[in-house]
Every structure is written in structure tokens, then in C-alpha cells.
Amino acid sequence: MLSKVPLPQQFDRLIVTGGIVTSVFVILILTILLILKFVGFISYTEVFFWLISSGMIIGALASVFLKNIVHAVFSLLAPLLGIVAIYLFLGSEFLALAQLLIYGGGVVILLLFALMMTDVQDNPVVIDGSQKPVGFIIAVLIGFVLLYSIFTADIEIATPSSLSLADLGSNIFTQFLIPFLLLGILLDIALTGALLNGKKHKNLQSSDSDE
Amino acid sequence: MIPLENFLILSSILFCIGFYGVLSRKNAILILISVELMLAAVGINFVAFSSFYDTERYSGHIFALFVVAIAAAEVGLALGIIIRLFRERKTINIDEANELKW
């Protein structure tokens, strides 16, 4: 099993290539944004916001379009960690922290474990289906509808307000108590189900009895 | 200050990218990644609306927190199913998982 882990050659190349590509993109976008800042179009807050959001979009595109599964999973880190910064922009520190811990620490590691246990070493390059153009057309249409409705909506000007942790806790444990308890039951059921599902059954004819 | 529209546009773009990934990929883990992208985009929408307009109850923050927890449960369960599928069929290509029972 350990010989199937894609370390270290692929990992080294992955880190070096990813670092070079990321730094080229970040430096390019940061240069454009700082020029705009010194010309006077935008403020430092907007520089940071545009940098984060462009990084998120590039990472999301990479995780959808890249052929190599390991590269795609690592590219997913960019949008998932960019959301932490977006939550901080919107003034929700606890949510940003929870997102960072659960997604950056938990979900991506779980995905990498699943990759390790499946056939990533034998054929890391996936071939996408023939439904690709249809999917592209549908996604563009949905994006057009969403963006059109955003641009034509009558949104009144407001300023975001930050939420303190004490308010969040008192809201969860008073108004949203029953959904919170149901969520605990759901997590319990899901993890028990995952455990039972992953267990080997004695009466099932498994083709790999050597594991 | 950044207006609400920017957050909405960002979340729409992320949602569409995730949707395209769900439709175009055939590998089960990559489909799961795209679903994660869509859930994250929805979380941005919830938190943005709640932070701008619902300043009394902050329901959107709490919903986003619930979405994070449910996404964690979903990833655990889905990866269990995918590993089980790989153990019995030697593939995680969803086109080859075309029987309900074997």
C-alpha cells in the first residue's frame, strides 16, 4: 500500500510547478492591481479583494480543467482558502476559522487519502466524458442567468456589519437550537454509515482477499 | 467598502465552474471536488446577504456553518462509498458503475 503513495518525485515536481505557476499569476495580478491603486481607481481593500477572488477563480478553473487528479485536488485548496478571506471581509471570524479548519485541514486531506486508496498511481490522468460541450453550454447559460439577475436587481446600498462570537453562539443555542441538535444527529448517522459501509463483509465475495 | 454585488458575482462564477465540473468529469472524486466548490459558493452567498441585510438574527452565518458541517459529513460518506466501489469494481469511473446490484 505504501508503495502506491505518489511520493516523492511527483510531489516535488508538483510543488515546484505549482509554486512557479502560482507566483507568476499572483505577481502579474498584483502588479496590475497596484498600478490601478496608484493611478487612483481602487483602494487597498479592493486590491486585496480582487487578488483573492481572482486567485479563487483561477484555482477553481484549474481544479475543474486539469487532467491530473492530484493537481486538481491541490488546486481546490485555492478557492477553499480564499473563502476564508472572503468570510473575514464579511466580518465573520468564527466562520472563517471553522472553514479553514474543516476544509483546509479536513476535507482536502480526506480527498487525498481517498486518492491514495484508489488507482491514482496507475493512471493519474483522467479522461473526461463526451458530455463536456453540453456541460459547458449549460454552465454558461446558468452563469448568464445568474449574472443577469444580479446586474438588473435593485440592490439597496448597505454596509456589512461584523458578527461577534457571543452573538453567534447565543443565536445558535436559542433560535437555532433544534436544527443544531438535528445536525449533530445527522453527523452521527453519516459517520456511522461511512464506517459500516467501509467495513468488509464476510459473506460478500470480494475479489481482493489479500488486503 | 466592497459592495454586495462583487460577492454575488464571485459566488456565481464559482458556482458555474463547479457545475461545469459536475457535468463534465467522469471520475467520482473529481465530481466530489466540484460539488465542494458549489457548496463553498453557496456559503459565500449566505454570509454576504446575512452580513449586509440580516443584522438582527444573522441567519445566513448560521446556515453557512450548517452547510460546512453537512459538507464534512457528505465528504466522509461519499469517500466511503467511492472506496467501497473501487474495492469491488477496480474503478471509480462512474460510467462503469451502472448496476444497482452485483
pLDDT per position as a tens digit, B77-98 = 888 888 888 888 777 788 777 7
Using the CB atoms, write b or e for A57-89: b if 16+ within 10 Å. Answer: bbbbbbbbebebbbbbbbbbbbbbbbbbbbbbb
In a domain, residue B12? The reply is no
Reduce the DSSP state of residue B27 to 3 states and report it.
Answer: strand
- Does A194 contact B76 at a Cβ distance shorter than 8 Å? yes
Q: For a pLDDT cut of 90, what percent of chain B falls above it?
A: 27
In a domain, residue B13? The reply is no
Q: Is A182 on the interface with B (CB under 8 A)?
A: no
**Cα separation of A204 and A199, whole Å?**
11
Question: pLDDT at position A211, please?
Answer: 42
- Does A56 contact B86 at a Cβ distance shorter than 8 Å? no
Which triple of cell numbers denotes residue A16?
A: 515546484
Does B51 score more than 70 pLDDT?
A: yes
Report the complex ipTM: 0.89
**Cα separation of B21 and A100, whole Å?**
23
Question: pLDDT at position A205, please?
Answer: 52
Q: Give the CA distances from residue A105 to residues A49, A81, A102, A127, in Å, rounded to whole numbers and listed in that order.
A: 23, 10, 5, 28
In a domain, residue B11? The reply is no
Q: How confident is the model at residue B27 (pLDDT cuts 50, 70, 90)?
A: confident
In a domain, residue B74? The reply is yes
- Does A155 contact B32 at a Cβ distance shorter than 8 Å? no
Task: Decide yes or no: CATH 1.20.1250.20 for domain A2-152.
Answer: no
Does A7 score more than 60 pLDDT?
A: no
Report which listed range, A7-11, A23-27, B97-101, is most confident: A23-27
Q: Domain residues for B48? A: 26-89
Question: pLDDT at position A210, please?
Answer: 44
**Cα separation of A13 and B49, whole Å?**
41
**Number of domains chain B contains:** 1
Q: What is the mean pLDDT of chain A?
A: 81
Q: Is A52 on the interface with B (CB under 8 A)?
A: no
Q: What is the pTM of this model?
A: 0.85
**Cα separation of A36 and A208, whole Å?**
60
Q: Which residue of B has its CA nearest to A50?
A: B6
In a domain, residue B62? The reply is yes
In a domain, residue B37? The reply is yes
Q: What is the DSSP letter of A125?
A: B
Q: Is B1 on the interface with A (CB under 8 A)?
A: yes
Q: How confident is the model at residue A209 (pLDDT cuts 50, 70, 90)?
A: very low
Domain boundaries, chain A: 2-152, 164-197
